Structure 1
């Protein structure tokens, strides 16, 4: 058994959290040699993230663990924001089967998710995992990056990789070593986090709530089967030491019906959320992903989800580059993901400014303004944000409105077997058409799946795709491996031009 990193691999990933593990799987599935270096000798036993959305579930399914997600997660019913009097300020209802073929939102136990991803990684002979090894050095040497590590016994090891990805969290060594600056919006508050295991099953409707009570802003969310999380904001003038005791945790939990006789306190700890992103996500052959690249307040539940989108975006681009495409393709990773993350962070900050109010008068003004402008009835979650720039079609005759959108997912029937589109048709570059196409140009390095919506080919069981194309006035769309639309056309005669556009852009990089 190898005691520490050594030899050469195609990609070295620093950090074995959910983002590093997912990225490693997506690359291993494509046949690349991957090394994952993790400083912790054992998996972290406590949850951090508590949920993922439908798009993130779809991406996790793409890593081959979709069938096992139900064992560690539960669909969330909704997300309500309430004022101190219990009046609803914001009401979002989640569907059990949403736009992307999965629940709109699911609560989950993060250690179970990480264990599932690690078991999946163990099925690949081309993956090596080194736990208990701290990365202490990065050095580019020609077309390789030499990663220096130190084991728990103090022994030094190295592994050479064609590419290195820093997925090593908020205090990223990789980011610091690169000297990358960050943009910090300066929005941060201290909160007490209490993870609880309930002795008796209780119904929480809706699943997730924010209590916008200036006396103590409070978050109450599910965190997987049998578990809940309560978070309490530190009030002005309140010392952190006052909150860092189990007595303080039980005192704050008691009004919620949570006591030592009916629950087990798994953890109580204070944390400070931040709103920031790295200014540079790539330096030569080293890139950043996940919390190493961005941090955001928790109120939109998009921290881990954003990291999974990083992994999905980066994996297929690294695959093309490793096959011979220009390394400049990886610059579109930064362009695309940083723009989306900035938007997600700003939206999370906007929500945070609603809940993190401890002044009663300011809270009363806030409540009155929200209630005066609120719409009747519950809301549905918004679709995933489209890409506005990056590797997208520039075909003048294309359907511009579809470009960059995230394709929904429904059930289809192929070869007499029904199932979700990704499972039945396949994942990768997909050309989806309403009619047959006579000639499809070859794009070097791209394994294209051609799917025709027609009985006997791809039957649109839920009529998701027919209506989706019709909504844009398109007869064909070219979908990227991360489910974003590269481009769409309203005339089948333009399909070859659409493929040539992709080929031209890849060659031009």
Structure 2
């Protein structure tokens, strides 16, 4: 077989694989993407995207393109057996720059993501090619692809990233256990066009007669998801007469609906025991699969994509040590399990079929509406587990600042030197960023500090209060190689004030890698590079290679 050599092979061109490839394209990594299907699957699949997902698409340069086919800021309601709304979820926060609940149609979103790959000459998408074998050594991965004409192709890659779904061939070839359970009840999903209902929200109907979900999608689509009972044959329930029967209690004339998609699904709650196997990584449904009740299945996969893509890119570029790849397991595995547990809880609440138990559930949840703290907890979606890394590519701080490290940083709008108002990430760029507050700490700092930041390819940005004396002084004498921004929404001011910090080091995925006061900056950046950069990149003059004694800078 002729051999093709590439730095990265992505297996699976669904939304997670295509997002990984788009991010690698932004980072300049030559990438081959393959998918066994010759076309996008036109099935009713994921519909919800959260603020973290939108931030990921923003990093890939595709947020605006994705928004064209989306409905933003959509509420979710949980409805009792008698039709009362006992909980509404509509978060007002945009702390990460986007609304927290947005709806889309996955086939449309996948088209946008695949079209995005066409921007990059160094990224190639090949459809109708299936991975059938792999082996790896200390230097790379050999993958055997079966082409659409039955021939085979050998690909040699530095890293293989598998986003090939819940029935992952890569996971099977690696013999990685897929721990968890398959739920006994099946669900039939029905989509029609020319939406017959005036219900611009997602509703989880906790009806013990037959629990179901009803939601509005873009372009006049409406989806229903009905639970099937034991003995009900899934394929039989997809017959036109059965579909009309299912819909008869919910629309005036089900025979007038134009059903465009209908499919039976079995829900699973599973997590791969390992996400990283030497030079092969699992992402998305290949790594974990969750029931749909909180809309976090695809969102969890997109978190995988962002976490994984920048690490592989920086490793290939020689800026991070290859051992950093193991942090993908540390940072993503526990959180993926937490999301599945939350989805299982929602599903258990929704799926009660005993009338007496359903009545008790409804009475309890209706009573909780009158407790302001609990109502706000639900309304603002504070129950959603937010990732927090205490292990991985973070430099743990001591004292009251410790809780800020390993969390996603806020994304307010900021004002640039030329007067433009942008989201923060669009100013920081695609890589690491050192964001300082009210003080420029780098230009006059030690040469070793600038060397370390350059080795990380970190952009330096100084933020000041809007229209302040400090901003006028810095604008009058701008420091070299430092971008200046003003705190347009007064959000950075409160973040730094509460953190008690003068600077924050942000990873490409916008998690806080380190933070501290001005006098801690050189030592902390030094510690970070010694912990995570390859040895060749940490060689510095003898004068600065001293033991680190600052307890505020502790690599994990």
Range of TM-score over shorter length: over 0.9
Cα contact 2:43–2:263 (8 A) shared by 1:
no
Query: Which of 426, 440, 448 in structure 2 is aligned with 1:436?
Result: 440
Give the number of the structure whose alpha-carbon radius of gyration is greater: 2
Q: Please, which moves more after superposition, 439-448 or 477-486?
A: 439-448
Shift of residue 241, structure 1, vs aligned partner: 3.9
Q: Which residue of 1 aligns with 2:499?
A: 472
Length-normalised TM-score, structure 2: 0.86
Structure 2 CA distance for aligned equivalents of residues 5 and 73 of structure 1: 43
Unaligned runs of 5+ in 1: none
Q: Which residue of 1 aligns with 2:409?
A: 407
> Does the alignment pair 1:119 with 2:115?
yes
Query: Which of 270, 277, 284 in structure 2 is aligned with 1:283?
Result: 277
Query: Which of 456, 462, 466 in structure 2 is aligned with 1:446?
Result: 456
When the two chains are superposed, the root-mean-square deviation of aligned CA atoms in Å is 2.1
Cα contact 1:25–1:121 (8 A) shared by 2:
yes
Query: Which of 314, 330, 333 in structure 2 is aligned with 1:335?
Result: 330
Cα contact 1:323–1:445 (8 A) shared by 2:
no
Unaligned runs of 5+ in 2: 465-470, 476-483, 536-556
Q: Which residue of 2 aligns with 1:210?
A: 204
Structure 2 CA distance for aligned equivalents of residues 504 and 371 of structure 1: 54
Query: Which of 210, 223, 244 in structure 1 is aligned with 2:217?
Result: 223
Classify 1:208/1:473 alpha carbon distance in 2 versus 1 (closer, same or farther; 3 Å): same
Partner secondary structure for residue 423 of structure 1: helix
Classify 1:90/1:317 alpha carbon distance in 2 versus 1 (closer, same or farther; 3 Å): same
Query: Which of 53, 58, 71 in structure 2 is aligned with 1:56?
Result: 53
Cα contact 1:54–1:105 (8 A) shared by 2:
yes
Q: Deviations over 1:209-248 (max 9, x none)?
A: 1001111111112332321211001124433344222222
Structure 1 CA distance for aligned equivalents of residues 225 and 425 of structure 2: 37
Q: Which residue of 1 aligns with 2:543?
A: none
Q: Please, which moves more after superposition, 117-126 or 215-224?
A: 215-224
Structure 2 CA distance for aligned equivalents of residues 284 and 70 of structure 1: 37
Partner secondary structure for residue 209 of structure 1: strand
Structure 2 CA distance for aligned equivalents of residues 48 and 165 of structure 1: 22
Cα contact 2:270–2:288 (8 A) shared by 1:
yes
Length-normalised TM-score, structure 1: 0.93
Structure 2 CA distance for aligned equivalents of residues 217 and 226 of structure 1: 23
Q: Which residue of 2 aligns with 1:18?
A: 15
Q: Which residue of 2 aligns with 1:250?
A: 244
Q: Deviations over 1:132-174 (max 9, x none)?
A: 1111111225512111111222111121111001100000000
5 Å-filtered alignment, 1:181-220, equals 181-185=177-181, 187-198=183-194, 202-205=197-200, 207-220=201-214
Shift of residue 189, structure 1, vs aligned partner: 2.8
Shift of residue 361, structure 1, vs aligned partner: 1.7
Q: Which residue of 1 aligns with 2:90?
A: 93
Query: Which of 293, 296, 305 in structure 1 is aligned with 2:299?
Result: 305
Partner secondary structure for residue 22 of structure 2: helix
> Does the alignment pair 1:504 with 2:530?
yes
Q: Which residue of 1 aligns with 2:518?
A: 492
Q: Deviations over 1:311-346 (max 9, x none)?
A: 100111101211233321111001100011011111
Classify 1:372/1:398 alpha carbon distance in 2 versus 1 (closer, same or farther; 3 Å): closer
Cα contact 1:79–1:92 (8 A) shared by 2:
yes
Cα contact 1:217–1:355 (8 A) shared by 2:
yes
Q: Deviations over 1:378-400 (max 9, x none)?
A: 51123733223322113446820
Q: Which residue of 1 aligns with 2:172?
A: 176
Classify 1:259/1:11 alpha carbon distance in 2 versus 1 (closer, same or farther; 3 Å): farther
Partner secondary structure for residue 427 of structure 1: coil
Classify 1:386/1:94 alpha carbon distance in 2 versus 1 (closer, same or farther; 3 Å): same
Structure 1 CA distance for aligned equivalents of residues 414 and 515 of structure 2: 21
5 Å-filtered alignment, 1:348-427, equals 348-374=343-369, 375-376=371-372, 377=375, 379-382=379-382, 384-396=386-398, 399-415=401-417, 416-427=419-430
> Does the alignment pair 1:482 with 2:504?
no
Partner secondary structure for residue 120 of structure 1: helix
Shift of residue 453, structure 1, vs aligned partner: 1.2
Shift of residue 203, structure 1, vs aligned partner: 3.4
Partner secondary structure for residue 102 of structure 2: strand
Shift of residue 58, structure 1, vs aligned partner: 1.1
Q: Deviations over 1:432-484 (max 9, x none)?
A: 22122142443364111222112342111111211122222222211111111
> Does the alignment pair 1:79 with 2:76?
yes
Structure 1 CA distance for aligned equivalents of residues 398 and 303 of structure 2: 28
Structure 2 CA distance for aligned equivalents of residues 263 and 462 of structure 1: 47
Partner secondary structure for residue 275 of structure 1: strand
